[in-house]
Amino acid sequence: MSRLWDRGEPLDDRVLRYTAGEDAILDEALVAYDLRASAAHAGMLHRCGYLTARDHAQLVQAMADLAAAHAQGQWRIAPQEEDCHTAIENRLTQRLGELGGAIHLGRSRNDQVLAALRLWLKDRLEELAGMAHAVAAALDGLAAGQGDLAMPGYTHGQRAMPTTVALWAGGWAAELRDDATGLLAARRRADRNPLGSAAGFGVPVLALDRGVTTQELGFGSTHEPVTAVQSSRGKAEATALFEAALLAQDLGRLSAEVCLFATAEFGFVSLPVSCTTGSSIMPQKRNPDVFEIARGRTAEAVAALNEVLAVTAKLPSGYHRDLQLIKKPLFRGLQSVRDTAEVLAWTLPGLVFDADRMAAAIEPAMRATEQAYELVQQQGVPFREAYRRVKDGL
pLDDT digits (tens, 9 = 90+) for 226-255: 999 999 999 999 999 999 999 999 999 999
Q: Residue 7's pLDDT is what? A: 52
Co-location of 95 and 146 in the same domain: no
Co-location of 180 and 303 in the same domain: yes
Last residue of a domain, one of 50, 70, 105: 105
Q: Residue 3's pLDDT is what? A: 47
Co-location of 40 and 55 in the same domain: yes
278: in domain: yes
pLDDT band at 1 (very low <50, low <70, confident <90, very high): very low
Model pTM? 0.91
2: in domain: no
Measure the CA–CA gap between 35 and 40, rounded to whole angstroms: 9
Domain of 202, CATH number, reads 1.20.200.10
* Peptide bond before residue 225 is cis, with ω within 30 degrees of 0: yes
**How many domains is the chain partitioned into structurally?**
3
Q: Is 156 a catalytic residue?
A: yes
User: What is the domain range of residue 372?
Assistant: 364-393
Co-location of 66 and 166 in the same domain: no
* Cα distances (Å, whole numbers) of residue 153 to 144, 164, 165, 255, 298: 19, 8, 10, 16, 24
Co-location of 50 and 156 in the same domain: no
Q: Is the pLDDT of residue 267 over 70?
A: yes
Co-location of 174 and 291 in the same domain: yes
Q: What is the pLDDT of residues 330-342, one digit of tens each?
A: 999 999 999 999 9
34: in domain: yes
What integer best gives the mean pLDDT of the chain? 93
- Active-site pick, 221, 279, 317, 320: 279
Co-location of 114 and 238 in the same domain: yes
Q: Is the pLDDT of residue 276 over 80?
A: no
List own/partner pairs for 54-63 with CB under 8 A and 24 or more apart.
55/99, 55/102, 58/96, 58/99, 59/92, 59/96, 59/99, 59/100, 59/102, 59/103, 62/92, 62/95, 62/96, 62/100, 63/35, 63/38, 63/39, 63/88, 63/92
120: in domain: yes
Q: What is the pLDDT of residues 212-231, one digit of tens each?
A: 999 999 999 999 999 999 99
Co-location of 196 and 337 in the same domain: yes
Co-location of 94 and 151 in the same domain: no
- Active-site pick, 156, 223, 274, 317: 156
Q: What is the pLDDT of residues 145-155, one digit of tens each?
A: 999 999 999 99
Q: Residue 125's pLDDT is what? A: 98
Q: Residue 375's pLDDT is what? A: 93
Co-location of 34 and 144 in the same domain: no
Q: Is 2 a catalytic residue?
A: no
